[in-house]
């Protein structure tokens, strides 16, 4: 494996974000452990970091509900609050200041803003060129048993770290789908508008499907490699359930699959109008996972085994990203991760993070659960509205 530094945050700054009126946290390259009581604001810090990537962050919250408000002040759409998050991030080759936030123009228009090194950017996809993050939260413990949409989002977030343009293609595909539905519902008689939209949909849909097929193949190759992680974090068999993906895997050309999808979209216009949504396409693809050693679908595994499978996928993705010629491993956001693992698996996770040199941001209410890190991590006490650096490793608390 190449000797490469990984992606790290060295300074995180919040302005009017969630429970923080203003806060700054300075860090080095080591993993970050945030200890505090429930409700102290630990997950808010992880959410802030997650918003430095494309998308709506680990909570998928509306941006007009994120701004800091004084105690007793409700969250209402009629009075949105400006907020901002920025971070100094670096890898082996570069250092950048990334920023995002929610701003309100003099005209009253409220929108998300994005800056890279102080320069405004047209959209959040610009962040993916410099920043990659993967998170595991308690909500994702049900990833394998809940609906397919959560698994697609999880898969696409992994791909963003390897292919920043994937975010733009997903957004363009989804926007064109929404525009097509509006045209169908308007009853417009001119097919040229629909034809143009369906061409845009098909071009982006096939690119999205191809990226997913390629990534799952590469991730599977990484999962197959020998690794000490597999002693406690089992290997997964992965597959994609989607018609476009199936056709691409059957060695049909991208143009052939685009033509096929365009014909499907045209044929399905009446059904899509009736349903209020497109019934066919990569927005309905599912990611299936199986516990390889047990030949058991992930959704049938125990809660602990499902958690171990998720961690196995995240670690394999980090190894894959780090092994690439110009790649660096993503930052990991692991919310309440230690509380859901036994001591043996906790220490195995800590060893894997340390061995790869990952900057993982982890939260917990009990410092004792992080003793396995010792001085290989940096520790912070989180209290309502403030963050206090601790010079001591968790084992001395």
Q: What's the number of domains the chain is made of?
A: 1
Judged by average pLDDT, the poorest of 23-37, 114-128, 312-326, 375-389 is 312-326
Would you say the C-alpha torsion 15, 376, 394, 335 has a positive or negative sign? positive
Higher pLDDT, 38 or 104: 38
Please provide the average confidence, as pLDDT, over all residues in the chain. 91
Q: Is residue 293 part of a domain?
A: yes
Question: Which tens digit of pLDDT belongs to each residue from 55-80?
Answer: 889 999 999 899 987 665 444 445 77
Question: Which tens digit of pLDDT belongs to each residue from 313-366?
Answer: 999 999 998 887 556 789 999 999 998 789 999 999 999 999 989 999 999 999
Residues 298/308, Cβ–Cβ less than 8 Å:
no
Q: Is residue 49 part of a domain?
A: no
pLDDT at 125: 84
Question: What values do phi and psi take at 157, rounded to 5?
Answer: -65, -40
Residues 318/245, Cβ–Cβ less than 8 Å:
no
Q: Which two tokens stand for residue 80?
A: 């949105």
Q: Is residue 126 part of a domain?
A: no
Residues 206/176, Cβ–Cβ less than 8 Å:
no
Looking at the DSSP bridge assignments, the partners of residue 11 are 26, 88
For the chain, what percent of residues have pLDDT higher than 90?
Answer: 75
Q: Which two tokens stand for residue 367?
A: 């410092």
pLDDT at 76: 47
What is the mean pLDDT of the segment spanning 89-93?
Answer: 87
CATH code, domain with 149:
1.20.1050.90
Among residues 229, 210, 85, which one has the least CA distance to residue 159?
210
pLDDT at 339: 83
Q: Is residue 19 part of a domain?
A: no
Q: Which two tokens stand for residue 251?
A: 């060695």
Q: Is the pLDDT of residue 105 over 50?
A: yes
Residues 136/174, Cβ–Cβ less than 8 Å:
no
What is the mean pLDDT of the segment spanning 25-35?
Answer: 96
pLDDT at 1: 33
Q: Is residue 364 part of a domain?
A: no
- Using pLDDT thresholds of 50, 70 and 90, give the confidence band for residue 211: very high
Q: Is residue 280 part of a domain?
A: yes
Higher pLDDT, 96 or 73: 96
What is the mean pLDDT of the segment spanning 296-303?
Answer: 95
At how many degrees (to 10) do helices 191-224 and 254-267 cross? 130
Among residues 384, 387, 389, 351, which one has the least CA distance to residue 370?
351
- E-assigned strands of 51-90? 83-90
Q: Is residue 44 part of a domain?
A: no
Q: Is the pLDDT of residue 2 over 60?
A: no
Q: Is the pLDDT of residue 244 over 90?
A: yes
Q: Is residue 162 part of a domain?
A: yes
pLDDT at 322: 82
Range of the domain at 196: 133-324
- Cα–Cα distance for residue pair 348/136, rounded to 1 Å: 17
Q: Helix or strand or coil: residue 197?
A: helix
User: pTM for the whole thing?
Assistant: 0.89
β-pair type (32-35, 360-364): parallel
């Amino acid at each position: 494996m190449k000797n490469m530094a990984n992606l790290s945050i060295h300074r995180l700054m919040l302005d009017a974000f969630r429970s923080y009126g203003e806060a700054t946290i300075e860090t080095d390259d080591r993993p970050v452990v945030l200890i505090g009581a429930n409700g102290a604001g630990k997950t808010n810090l992880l959410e802030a970091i997650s918003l430095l990537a494309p998308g709506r962050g680990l909570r998928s919250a509306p941006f007009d509900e994120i701004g800091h408000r004084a105690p007793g002040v409700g969250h209402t759409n009629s009075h949105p609050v400006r907020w901002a998050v920025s971070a100094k991030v670096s890898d082996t080759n570069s250092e950048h200041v990334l920023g995002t936030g929610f701003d309100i123009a003099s005209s009253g228009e409220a929108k998300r803003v994005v800056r890279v090194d102080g320069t405004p950017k047209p959209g959040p996809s610009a962040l993916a060129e410099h920043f990659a993050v993967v998170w595991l939260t308690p909500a994702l413990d049900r990833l394998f048993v809940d609906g397919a949409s959560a698994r697609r989002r999880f898969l696409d977030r992994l791909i963003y770290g390897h292919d920043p343009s994937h975010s733009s293609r997903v957004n363009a595909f989804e926007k064109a789908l929404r525009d097509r539905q509006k045209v169908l519902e308007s009853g417009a008689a001119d097919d040229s508008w629909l034809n143009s939209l369906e061409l845009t949909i098909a071009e982006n849909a096939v690119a999205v499907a191809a990226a997913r097929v390629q990534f799952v193949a590469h991730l599977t190759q990484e999962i197959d490699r020998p690794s000490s992680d597999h002693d406690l974090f089992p290997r997964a068999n992965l597959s994609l359930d989607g018609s476009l993906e199936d056709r691409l895997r059957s060695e049909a050309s991208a143009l052939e699959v685009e033509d096929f999808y365009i014909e499907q979209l045209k044929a399905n216009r009446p059904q899509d109008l009736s349903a209020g949504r497109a019934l066919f396409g990569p927005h309905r693809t599912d990611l299936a996972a199986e516990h390889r050693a047990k030949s058991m679908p992930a959704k049938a595994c125990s809660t602990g085994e499902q958690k171990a499978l998720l961690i196995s996928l995240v670690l394999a993705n980090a190894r894959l990203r780090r092994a690439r010629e110009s790649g660096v491993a993503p930052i990991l956001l692991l919310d309440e991760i230690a509380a859901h693992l036994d001591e043996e698996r906790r220490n195995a996770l800590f060893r894997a993070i340390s061995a790869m040199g990952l900057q993982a941001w982890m939260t917990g209410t009990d410092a004792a659960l992080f003793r396995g890190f010792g001085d290989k991590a940096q520790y912070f006490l989180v209290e309502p509205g403030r963050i206090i650096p601790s010079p001591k490793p968790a084992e001395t608390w």
